[in-house]
Amino acid sequence: MTTGESWRDQRRAHLARDSTAADRAARLLDEMGTDERDDDEVEADHRMSRLAAAREYEPDARLDEELRLRLTGPATEGGALRFQWGDALLDPVEKAVSVAAGTPIQLELTGLSAGSTVIHARPVSSAHPQEQPVLDAPATSATSTGMHAFTKLLDALEAEQDVREWVRIFDAVEAVARALDKYELELGVTWYDASGGVRSARLTERGRHYVERLRGTRPRDQEITVSGRITELRESGWVKVKTGTAKNAPAYDVHFEASEELLRMRPTLGDNVHFRVRFRQHLDSVGIARTTEYTYLGPAAEQTSLPLGL
């Protein structure tokens, strides 16, 4: 990913100052036709060409995978990377890629670009057995799969689009957005895969604000019956009801808004109870339940059988 003016913009500016060159370029473009491609596509073509040339001599040749993270903002003008930025940003990025890949991914720092806050990283390599050819490895690595999902989510956030497709990694990306907000930074991500492909994305102030809006919640209520055995009582008006005898049986913390009502019931540990409960979820715009509450409404009209875990 490039920052500032692209090489096309710089070339156009140069041609604008040279009328003769501009005329020649215009005629040449008319003859050849135009092919507007972004910088990722151009760089990917160059990398694939290098890979194809290398495979003329070494059929198993592959390119090294690399991740570049570029941080920009008022505090980056000196070209230095603060330790606290790395601590706040790198772990959420690794977690997001891991969740998107569906398997744990480990990334390692390989360097910093001189004079700028560009972090270079790569997946921690797993050694292949000597008898296993490199070409037998998957064409698309787990890291590459995760990075493609991660960058697509960043693109969707920047465009303020529906992001429910990537709900699994939203929390990790939201942690990245919070860290960027805290330090007034913007993040650029570029992924270079083993086959020559290049994929880049950004998370700017616009994307961060969209993440914040998506985190806003709305309540959704449903009346349910909770039946089970009391395993915990608190004077503040809370009762824990376990719905089965198995260790992993679901348990509900039911809140009595009027604690006097709970005292009048004189419950004891081990009592079987049947409560009508208001089940309230606070859902964000992505569909994630941020909080859940169980509030006592009254005794259940009908007793339901206790689901025993055998």
Q: Please, what are the domains in the chain?
A: 39-127+138-214 (no CATH), 218-299 (2.40.50.140)
**38-73 pLDDT, tens per residue?**
667 777 777 777 777 777 777 777 788 999 999 998
Residue 178's CB is within 10 A of a number of other CB atoms, namely: 15
How far from each other are the two terminal CA atoms of the chain, in whole angstroms?
A: 57
Query: What is the 3-state secondary structure of 98-129?
Result: HHHHCCCCCEEEEEECCCCCEEEEEECCCCCC
280 — phi, psi (to 5°)? -115, 125
Q: Pairing between strand 118-123 and 107-112? A: antiparallel
Per-residue pLDDT at 134? 44
Q: Pairing between strand 186-192 and 251-255? A: unpaired
Beta bridge partners of 291: 282
Token pair for residue 175?
Answer: 């942690």
Q: Locate tokens 């569909």: which residue?
A: 287
Residue 103 and residue 141 in contact, taking contact as beta carbons nearer than 8 Å? no
CA atoms of 112 and 121, how far apart (whole Å) = 9
CA atoms of 302 and 172, how far apart (whole Å) = 43
Cα–Cα–Cα angle for 165, 171, 175, rounded to 5 degrees: 135
Confidence of residue 15 (pLDDT cuts 50, 70, 90): low
**Average pLDDT, stretch 126-131?**
50
Query: Which SS3 state, helix, strand or coil, does residue 301 take?
Result: coil
Q: Which of 18-22, 140-144, 240-244 has the lowest mean pLDDT?
A: 18-22
Beta bridge partners of 185: none
CA proximity to 238, closest of 224, 251, 254: 254
pLDDT of residue 207 exceeding 90, the answer is yes
Is the model more confident about 222 or about 309? 222
**188-205 pLDDT, tens per residue?**
999 998 888 899 999 999
Sheet holding 66-72, edge to edge: 107-112, 118-123, 66-72, 186-192, 198-203
Residue 276's CB is within 10 A of a number of other CB atoms, namely: 15
Query: How many percent of the chain have pLDDT more than 90?
Result: 41
CA proximity to 121, closest of 88, 91, 84, 156: 91
Per-residue pLDDT at 140? 66
CA atoms of 197 and 54, how far apart (whole Å) = 16
Token pair for residue 146?
Answer: 């995760």
pLDDT of residue 27 exceeding 90, the answer is no
pLDDT of residue 26 exceeding 50, the answer is yes
